[in-house]
């Protein structure tokens, strides 16, 4: 399974809010703590607000905070929100699998389903409370965060 940048950035934001102990955190501070472009957080945070994972508060002391306890938010919830299905291939989804001419007697599908189930199980037991307990470095001390400037693309020749 390949995790998209948006999914990665969303998980970073939830972890930062967990480590903050309740927030609220303004978007620019959240961007700094997670090394995520603020413009991307401006897209990711409303999706998580709509899903009930975070809430926003207006005003000078406002920002984003978790809407649930970190023990109640799993990595699976965030990954599903941004990735959708967790099956590695269309024929191995639990709901509405893609039709496949190889379905009868297909040994590959069994493996894909095992991968799907293992992925769901692992992501489902990883809570943000657990992740926060294991965090160190820039997660607990954002001053350690060093963001390298983007490198220009090499010229093709």
Domains in the chain: ranges and CATH: 5-141 (1.10.10.10)
Instruction: Determine the pLDDT at residue 157.
Output: 44
Strand-pair category, 54-57 with 63-66:
antiparallel
Q: What gap in Å lies between CA 54 and CA 47, rounded to an integer?
A: 9
Please write the tens of the pLDDT for every residue from 108-147.
778 888 888 898 899 999 999 999 998 876 677 777 766 5
pLDDT of residue 75: 95
Instruction: Output DSSP code: residue 25.
Output: B
Predicted structure pTM score: 0.80
Signed CA dihedral, 7, 9, 13, 15: sign only: positive
Distance between CA atoms of residues 8 and 82, nearest Å: 9
Confidence of residue 90 (pLDDT cuts 50, 70, 90): low
Q: Region 145-155: what's the mean pLDDT?
A: 57
């Amino acid at each position: 399974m390949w995790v998209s940048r948006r999914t990665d950035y969303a998980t970073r934001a939830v972890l930062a809010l967990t480590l903050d102990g309740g927030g609220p955190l303004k978007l620019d501070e959240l961007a700094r703590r997670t090394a995520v472009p603020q413009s991307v957080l401006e897209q990711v945070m409303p999706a998580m607000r709509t899903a009930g994972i975070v809430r926003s508060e207006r005003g000078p002391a406002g920002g984003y905070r978790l809407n649930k306890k970190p023990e109640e938010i799993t990595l699976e919830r965030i990954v599903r929100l941004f990735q959708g299905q967790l099956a590695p291939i269309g024929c191995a989804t639990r709901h509405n699998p893609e039709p496949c001419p190889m379905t009868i007697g297909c040994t590959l599908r069994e493996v894909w389903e095992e991968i799907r189930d293992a992925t769901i199980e692992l992501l489902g037991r990883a809570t943000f409370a657990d992740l926060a307990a294991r965090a160190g470095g820039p997660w607990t001390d954002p001053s350690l965060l060093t963001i390298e400037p983007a490198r220009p693309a090499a010229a093709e020749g």
